[in-house]
A and B are shown apart, each in its own frame.
Chain A
Amino acid sequence: MTSIWPEIEHLLLHVEKPARYIGLERGAIQPPHDPRNVAWLLTYPDAYEVGFPNQGLQILYEIINELPIGEAERAYAPWIDLEKTMREKRIPLFSVDTHRPANEFDILAFNLSSELVYTNLLNCIDLAGAPLRSVERGNDDPLIAAGGHCTYNPEPLADFVDFFVLGDGEEVVSELTYVIHQWKTSESTHPSRDFLLRELSKIEGVYVPQMYNLSRDQNGFQLLEPKYDDVPKLVEKRTITSLEDWPYPKNQLVPITEVVHDRLNVEVFRGCTRGCRFCQAGMITRPVRERSVDQVRTMVSEGLRRTGYDQVALTSLSTADYSHIEKAVAAVGDDPLSCGQTGVSLPSLRVDAFTVGIAATLQGGKRSGLTFAPEAGTWRMRQVINKLITEEDLYGAVESAFSQGWRRVKLYFLIGLPTETDEDTLGIADLAKNCVEIGKRYTKQASVTVSVGGFVPKPFTPFQWFGQNTIEELQRKINLLKDATSRSRGVQLKWHDPKATLIEGVLSRGDRALSPLIEEVWRSGGIFQEWSEHFDLDRWLSSMDKLNLSVEDYAYRHRDKSEPLPWDHLDAGLYKDFLWQEWRDALEEVGLEDCRWTPCYDCGACTGYGLDHVVGSTSPPVGGSQGTWQDLTKGSEVPQLLTIRKKSETV
């Protein structure tokens, strides 16, 4: 029932952007603080302006607050200046909705979207006043939970988090609330926290690390065995069968102060079967589940009415693939409330002229930059990663953009992909230069920004066995590109720091032995590591040294088929054989079609669960096969081989 606002209030005069801590957003809920209810503190372990728009968090916030026995509030990681004074004045982490201290909640549930926030998660547990490790917490401490894409390899956080939730949260969050409510209200009969954790582990999609015994095989690889018969050997992800049943958020929050993606977001479908082999999101969110265009229309018009936004984003992993894209776009324009003033954005453009056509209609007269993601510089490389777009697709898209008034185009690429040669890397520069040439036919100011990121292999993707490039190798490739583009006017090169890429890689596929590493880095002051001004590689490397952990082991070496993976006890819906076959096909540069419009190749996502894709149209969208005129028969003459450095198996 308490609010610590009076204690916080006077600190806010002396911190940056104090409006991040006041709540009051349109749509925010002030729950009743009924002690019999199960109270969730949904925490985004990063700055408010980054965490606020997270749709997953907002969806759960509404669903829990609709439950008669549930209440949910939100918290974000306090920025460094406020955190410092909070520690000095012994002020705990608090909710922004009612400024209730974190330790009054039953559950602190974290959204994990990036590996580099792991130290912030520890910082938030500590700021909440709870013991850091799961085994140290008792009945009076909050439960620590986590969901989001990173939970597909939860092991690095296994010592700190009581339970992880895999997959869609819409249904499971209520099941969790009921089980916790039962335990909470009958505390006298089942007092042990262990009992509760065991009950939670029986819920489908819930992984409770403490319910497993850890051992190591003769090669030192981690093996996990359930402690009890009723704890699942394999934890399967949750999948909602229809998005139509979950029109959330119904009441999207509108911030008072500046945040990223500040607009109405309407999810038009979930899942993606393009099959890009580097893309974890596309693998773990299968199958494709589209929303009907009627529901999209209602969500847009209701959303605009309630929020007062004049910007709508139709979100998904590849919105141009939505069966009813044109109808959905038209619906926004036709909405009586928008009075022609509402802008629509498609956060992920497909690389083809058709998509640019839609973008042109959407933006009306406006021409703020356009972004495409060809991901790799040569057709060979794109076959390896199964991003099957041809040079002609890209040039068509770019020509269409420049001819319709755009002057600036941004291209996203990955470097450090499996089998990548310098020719592939330099192909990026060639593509960019050719795009500028095309642009110059239409405007003298044509410019192309190339943004390159180092590739990090992720669990449950065909590339999960690949040893990522070293910092030096990524830097060398960046330098190659710098040289190749330095004299071309119109090409701007930007790149991500390969040092951060390395640590993402270590955490992304690490095992439980990394829990002490995360703690060590946090204790030495390493928070907000995804902010380049606060990231410090030396802190990570010296902590790894101290704990006898090797970068080579965790990130750089290739893994082979027989090696147990730290996430083998989890199931993202994909057969391991399918992923392995995809890995082999990648090395042989064989592409794979999108199964929305071609026969099923049985990846496991549908067949294993009796699910099916929910799409409005059984034929591919306009613009040729997959909308990209792709030709799957094209391949390179000389297959590139990957050298496996350890425990080699013939490839």
Chain B
Amino acid sequence: MALRLRSTKTGKIRFASHRDIAKVWERTLRVSRVPLVYSQGFSPRPKISYGLALPTGAESDCEYIDIQVDDSDRELIIVGDICSSLNSNLPPGIKINGASIMNGKFPSLQQTVTSCVWDITVNEDDTKVDSWIDRINSANEIVLRRERKGKEIVDDIKPQVYLVRKNYERIDGRVTLQAELGTQPRSLRPSELLRSLEPYLSEYKLRRKKQIVEEGARRLDPLEVAGATPMRSLVGAL
């Protein structure tokens, strides 16, 4: 049986890397006695797949993980029990806040998610931020230069910028932007957005608010894609 879990990453744990968190999940699943399915071969690995990487230092309300649970010798797997046991064993700051049973074959998180919504808190003041946002929104093209394997790559990232606006709420007294950034074929990172237009904005805090799957005209949470059975009653219990 495949299980898709959504969880937070907040507080001190935000400084753990994507790789660190993968290991944390693996060990927590073992401590919580969740029966896992292992790959074949000399070094069997549990079948777990992780969603889009979150930059180290960023917080999130919506990190996803797909887990193959071994239900071969069990009549009943109670998703709620798995989740509450995981929640009591995960480190502070990581908390499961949603789950779905995934039926049949389904595409990976990396393939399905089409955009992410971010809260980006910056060090600059309102005037600077307002003008920067205006210029981002009115530009026909936003050129980002980045280096990859020693070569410079020049991209127009404008099509990836779905939305940029200022939030009403401030964080630690600082201006916060909301941005929705595309993830296909490659994720546009908030840090890249901030340095795509001079004078650059500098990041103070970052939080992923939502991951979105566009299915036709519908914008869905990855827990609600076709083939997923969301465990809605869990949400209150968790």
Interface string of A1-40 (1 = CB under 8 A from B): 0000100011011000011011111100000000000000
Determine the distance from Cα of A19 to Cα of B57 in the docked complex, in whole angstroms.
9
Known: A13-B57, A24-B92, A26-B91. A366 touches B43 (CB 8 A): yes
Interface string of A294-319 (1 = CB under 8 A from B): 00000000001111111000000000
The 10 listed contacts between A and B (C-beta, < 8 Å) are A12-B15, A19-B16, A22-B16, A24-B91, A256-B13, A256-B24, A304-B30, A337-B33, A341-B44, A366-B43
- 9 further interface pairs, Cβ-Cβ under 8 Å (given A256-B91, A305-B31, A308-B28): A5-B12, A22-B12, A25-B91, A26-B27, A26-B89, A256-B13, A256-B16, A309-B30, A341-B44
Which residues from chain B contact A310 at a C-beta distance below 8 Å?
30
Which residues from chain B contact A9 at a C-beta distance below 8 Å?
12
Task: Tell me, yes or no, whether A257 is within 8 Å of chain B by CB.
Answer: yes
Q: Which of B8-62 contact A (CB under 8 A)?
A: 12-13, 15-17, 19-20, 24, 26-31, 33, 38, 42-44, 56-57
Which residues from chain B contact A258 at a C-beta distance below 8 Å?
19-20
Instruction: Quote the shortest CB–CB distance from B73 to chain A (angstroms).
Output: 12
Instruction: Quote the shortest CB–CB distance from B75 to chain A (angstroms).
Output: 19
- A18 to B31, Cβ gap below 8 A? no
Within the complex, which residue of B19, B27, B30, B57 is in contact with A12, where a contact is CB–CB below 8 Å? B57
Q: Which of A148-177 contact B (CB under 8 A)?
A: none
Task: Tell me, yes or no, whether A365 is within 8 Å of chain B by CB.
Answer: yes
Task: Tell me, yes or no, whether B93 is within 8 Å of chain A by CB.
Answer: yes
Which residues from chain B contact A306 at a C-beta distance below 8 Å?
31
Instruction: Quote the shortest CB–CB distance from A381 to chain B (angstroms).
Output: 39
**Residues on A close to B: CB < 8 A?**
5, 9-10, 12-13, 18-19, 21-26, 254, 256-258, 304-310, 337, 341, 364-366
- A308 to B31, Cβ gap below 8 A? yes
Within the complex, which residue of A23, A26, A305 is in contact with B12, where a contact is CB–CB below 8 Å? A23
Within the complex, which residue of B16, B31, B43, B57 is in contact with A307, where a contact is CB–CB below 8 Å? B31
Task: Report which residue of A12, A256, A309, A365 has the largest number of chain B beta carbons within 10 angstroms of its beta carbon.
Answer: A256
- A365 to B27, Cβ gap below 8 A? no
**Chain B residue at minimal CB-CB distance from A364:** B42
Interface size class of B (residues with CB under 8 A): 20 to 34
Instruction: Quote the shortest CB–CB distance from B58 to chain A (angstroms).
Output: 10
Determine the distance from Cα of A256 to Cα of B26 in the docked complex, in whole angstroms.
11
Which residues from chain B contact A18 at a C-beta distance below 8 Å?
15, 56-57
Known: A307-B27, A341-B38. A21 touches B44 (CB 8 A): no
- B27 to A254, Cβ gap below 8 A? yes
- A21 to B27, Cβ gap below 8 A? no
Which residues from chain A contact B12 at a C-beta distance below 8 Å?
5, 9, 22-24
Which residues from chain A contact B13 at a C-beta distance below 8 Å?
22, 24, 256
Instruction: Quote the shortest CB–CB distance from A31 to chain B (angstroms).
Output: 16
Known: A24-B12, A24-B91, A341-B38. A256 touches B20 (CB 8 A): yes
Which residues from chain B contact A308 at a C-beta distance below 8 Å?
26-31
Within the complex, which residue of B31, B33, B57, B204 is in contact with A26, where a contact is CB–CB below 8 Å? B31
- B28 to A257, Cβ gap below 8 A? no
Q: Which of B204-229 contact A (CB under 8 A)?
A: 204
Task: Report which residue of B15, B29, B93, B204 has the largest number of chain A beta carbons within 10 angstroms of its beta carbon.
Answer: B15
Which residues from chain A contact B44 at a C-beta distance below 8 Å?
341
Q: Which of B43-95 contact A (CB under 8 A)?
A: 43-44, 56-57, 89, 91-93
**Chain A residue at minimal CB-CB distance from B13:** A24
Determine the distance from Cα of A9 to Cα of B57 in the docked complex, in whole angstroms.
10
- A366 to B42, Cβ gap below 8 A? yes
Determine the distance from Cα of A364 to Cα of B43 in the docked complex, in whole angstroms.
10
Within the complex, which residue of A10, A12, A24, A365 is in contact with B93, where a contact is CB–CB below 8 Å? A24
Instruction: Quote the shortest CB–CB distance from A350 to chain B (angstroms).
Output: 25
Which residues from chain B contact A365 at a C-beta distance below 8 Å?
42
Which residues from chain B contact A256 at a C-beta distance below 8 Å?
13, 16, 20, 24, 91
**Chain B residue at minimal CB-CB distance from A12:** B15
- A257 to B30, Cβ gap below 8 A? no
**Chain B residue at minimal CB-CB distance from A310:** B30
Which residues from chain A contact B56 at a C-beta distance below 8 Å?
18-19
- A309 to B17, Cβ gap below 8 A? no
Which residues from chain B contact A12 at a C-beta distance below 8 Å?
15, 57
**Chain A residue at minimal CB-CB distance from B44:** A341
**Chain B residue at minimal CB-CB distance from A30:** B92
Which residues from chain A contact B42 at a C-beta distance below 8 Å?
364-366
Task: Report which residue of B20, B26, B33, B89 has the largest number of chain A beta carbons within 10 angstroms of its beta carbon.
Answer: B20
Determine the distance from Cα of A25 to Cα of B33 in the docked complex, in whole angstroms.
19
Task: Report which residue of A22, A254, A366 has the largest number of chain B beta carbons within 10 angstroms of its beta carbon.
Answer: A22
Determine the distance from Cα of A256 to Cα of B29 in the docked complex, in whole angstroms.
14
Instruction: Quote the shortest CB–CB distance from B74 to chain A (angstroms).
Output: 14
Which residues from chain A contact B28 at a C-beta distance below 8 Å?
308
**Chain B residue at minimal CB-CB distance from A18:** B15
Which residues from chain B contact A337 at a C-beta distance below 8 Å?
30, 33
Which residues from chain B contact A19 at a C-beta distance below 8 Å?
15-17, 20, 56
Which residues from chain B contact A22 at a C-beta distance below 8 Å?
12-13, 15-16
**Chain B residue at minimal CB-CB distance from A25:** B91
- A257 to B16, Cβ gap below 8 A? yes
Instruction: Quote the shortest CB–CB distance from B55 to chain A (angstroms).
Output: 10
Determine the distance from Cα of A10 to Cα of B92 in the docked complex, in whole angstroms.
19
Which residues from chain A contact B19 at a C-beta distance below 8 Å?
258
Determine the distance from Cα of A23 to Cα of B89 in the docked complex, in whole angstroms.
15
